[in-house]
Amino acid sequence: MKMLNRIATVKDDGTVVVDVPSNFETTSLNLRSENTYGEAVDEEPVDLTDLQYRPPMQIVILIVGTRGDVQPFVAIGKRLQDYGHRVRLATHANFREFVLTAGLEFYPLGGDPKILAEYMVKNKGFLPSAPSEIPIQRKQIKEIIFSLLPACKDPDIDTGIPFKVDAIIANPPAYG
C-alpha cells in the first residue's frame, strides 16, 4: 500500500496517474509464492484522518440503446443511490416504467431505440448501407443530442424537483 501511495496520484478531475520509476524492481514488492493461498494477510490499518466527507451528488446516467444497454446502468444507479446520491437515468421513453420501477429518477431522451437497433444490425457499424438512411439517422442523432442538456439540468418531469448535475455517466452512443 505504501508503494502504491508513492507511485499513484489522484488528480483534481478524478483520474489516477500511476508513475512507475524505470528502476522499479518487483522484488521490492515482497511477493509471496503461489503456495500461500489462504494464509492470513497482514494489512496496514486505514488512517481515518485521510478520509474526507463527500457530499451526495446529483448524477445523471445517459443511456442510448436497447434494454440490454439500459439494464446494467440501472444496477449502477441503484448502487450509487445506496451511497446516498440522487440518480437520474436518462434514456428512451419506452424504458420509463423499467427505470421508475427500479426506484431511479427517469428523464426521457430523444431517438427511437428500435430504429437505432435495426440500423446497427443492418449496417454492423455506423456507416449507412444506403443513402436513404442518412436523413433518418441524422434525425435520430439530432433528437438524442438535443435531449442531453435538458437531462442534465431540467427539473424532474413528474415532481418538478430541481436538478443540476454534478456527475455524468454515459454509454458511447449517447454522444452521437
Give residue 23's identity as a one-letter amino acid code: N
> SS3 string of 4-27?
HHHHEEECCCCCEEECCCCCCCHH
User: How many residues are recorded in the chain?
Assistant: 176
| pLDDT at residue 26 in the model | 56
Scanning 37-176, the segments in alpha helix (DSSP H) are: 67-82, 96-101, 113-123, 133-153
Give residue 161's identity as a one-letter amino acid code: I
Model confidence over 60-79: pLDDT tens digits?
Answer: 999 998 899 999 999 999 99
Q: Do residues 2 and 44 touch, judged by C-beta distance below 8 A?
A: yes
Instruction: Put residue 14 in one of left, alpha, beta given phi > 0 → left and psi -120 to 50 → alpha.
Output: left
Question: Residue ranges of the domains in the chain?
Answer: 2-50, 58-175
CATH of domain 58-175: 3.40.50.2000
Kindly compute the dihedral angle of the four CA atoms of residues 40, 43, 48, 51, in this order, to the nearest 10 degrees: -110
Widest Cα–Cα separation across the chain: 65
The most confident of 27-41, 62-76, 161-175, by mean pLDDT: 62-76
Model confidence over 129-163: pLDDT tens digits?
Answer: 667 777 887 888 899 899 999 999 999 999 999 99
Whole-number average pLDDT of the chain: 82
| pLDDT at residue 75 in the model | 96
